[in-house]
Structure 1
Amino acid sequence: MTFNRVKRQVGILLILTGLLHTGVGLAIYMKLLTPIFSEGIWNTVQEGQWERLTSFWFLMFGFLLIMLGYITDWLVRKREISPPPALGWMLLLLCVVGAAAMPASGFWLCIPQAWILIRK
């Protein structure tokens, strides 16, 4: 598979990574998420509720990866525009810092994807 073909797939890879992240989050945090929804969502995640905050942001990060993947895929496939390398650099920085702070995490999965976005 040529590098250009791989670059065309990076949006889908980011979407799949986001779906995996969200699926893992739902599996791990379902017990914590249920009260958030049963209480009506509004103002149910507050400072000091560390378990709820963790579960909420875990799912939000997965959703953000899905959005980033969709936008990347749309640019590359529909508009035939390569995303700017700065997008890859920002994702790389986020994931390297995240992996350094939390080595036993999924941040490592996005580092190759960020590298693909950086490459021309």
Structure 2
Amino acid sequence: MARGIAWATLVLGLVHLVFGMVRFKLPLEEAVAAGFIDQFREHELRRTAFWFLMCGPLLMLMGHLAIRAVAMGDPALLRITGTYALVASVVGIAAFPMSPLWLLFGLSLLLIAAGCGWL
């Protein structure tokens, strides 16, 4: 079960990237057409696109760490990964209660539970 939770975290990061590329296609195209460098400071939607997309690789990193922790039998790393995800999701949910960060919240609790041997 822990392996499935770890892979779900990685997949969440991939989905984040794909969704961000589709959702923010126009502002990203505009930034690239304008030369990309320093094209996200002045435009709110471009800035939102940038930070949304930056979360994708970080979620994927978290997933890779969790997959590695499961493979190496390192429950402490699962707990640490889950704790970071829990804190980030709680802050995000507090800021945006109607966001899909509830998915990360659930995965973080499962990562912590797997790291404690409860799953």
> TM-score normalised to the size of structure 1?
0.83
Q: How does 1:40-59 map to 2 (within 5 A)?
A: 40-46=35-41, 48-59=42-53
Distance 1:66 1:41 in 2: 24
Tell me the alpha carbon deviations over residues 21-46 of structure 1, each in whole angstroms, 9 at most, x when there is no partner: 21211111000001222334322222
Match of 1:80, as an amino acid? G
Matched length: 113
Percent identity, please: 28
1:116 has 2:110 as partner: yes
1:103 has 2:97 as partner: yes
Among 24, 28, 46, the alignment partner of 2:19 is 24
| Segment drifting more, 106-115 vs 86-95 | 86-95
Distance 1:65 1:112 in 2: 14
Q: Which runs of 4+ in 1 moved over 4 A?
A: none
> TM-score normalised to the size of structure 2?
0.84
Distance 2:68 2:83 in 1: 19
Distance 1:70 1:118 in 2: 15
Q: Secondary structure at the match of 1:41?
A: coil
Among 89, 93, 96, the alignment partner of 2:83 is 89
Among 32, 56, 60, the alignment partner of 1:62 is 56
Q: Please provide the CA RMSD for this pair.
A: 1.6
